[in-house]
Structure 1
């Protein structure tokens, strides 16, 4: 049995988070299968309004629902920081509002929003997620709340 060094654990955690992000934000929705390789058997997710995510299938369902609502997505990770226990990413998404979301009918408009995520890692897998989406920015752009004057 080999013991990983601190640098190897950090590199493994970073690689897992990058593979997870690339798969779940891919233009091919089937790529959410990456969840099976990067997420622990049980997962605790915080900050996913309207979703209870506790396992691979519920996590995949969140991304499938999100990707049906927002298509033609482009995204960029502006910062990714990893240590032995956590990986955090600050990101931005550009997409078309193609499916109903938050009770708002899709109108195809192009939107952008940003956010941050923190993953707790265990044995190289994501076992807990804290998500913060700039909800005000997103909901204003799709017309769910009025724009500030």
Structure 2
């Protein structure tokens, strides 16, 4: 496979993964994530298998209804894909010890994916947790300022 074909394959795998996991089609994880995924920076603990990765996304979905998901930047090479993303969600279930507020929340972050043989084998995640927690009311001083 040429370098440009490998780069395009990596972009396609990550785009498919993001589209599926952020629209509630978690079966996409079977096709895009390695069984022994290695993760870093996941709030609540780092998933260490394809199934625990899927459970992490299900847990997020239990607290939020996705209203919008945008990827303003994606950069890829032969081994990895970096993504800057923006979320708009409604807080429709308990999260971080806070019952559903019904508030519309917007936050952003980045993810870095390492791929092998067309599958995501390692993920580094950075969520703007301070903004997210403040908007749901888990940080009372910030909730009052918002």
Give the TM-score, by structure 2 length: 0.94
Q: Which runs of no fewer than 5 residues in structure 1 stay unpaired?
A: none
Check if 1:33 corresponds to 2:27: yes
Partner residue in 1 for 2:42: 48
Q: Distance in 2 between matches of 1:57 and 1:121?
A: 18
1:51 CA drift (Å): 2.7
Shift >4 Å, 4+ stretches: none
Deviations 1:91-144 (A, max 9, x none): 100010011111111111111000000001111110000000001110110011
What is the DSSP-based 3-state SS (H/G/I as helix, E as strand, rest coil) of the residue aligned with 1:118?
strand
Partner residue in 2 for 1:118: 112
Partner residue in 2 for 1:134: 128
What is the DSSP-based 3-state SS (H/G/I as helix, E as strand, rest coil) of the residue aligned with 2:26?
helix
Partner residue in 1 for 2:76: 82
Matched residue count = 143
Check if 1:15 corresponds to 2:12: yes
1:72 CA drift (Å): 3.9
Q: Distance in 2 between matches of 1:21 and 1:123?
A: 18
Q: Distance in 2 between matches of 1:37 and 1:72?
A: 22
Q: Distance in 1 between matches of 2:67 and 2:36?
A: 28
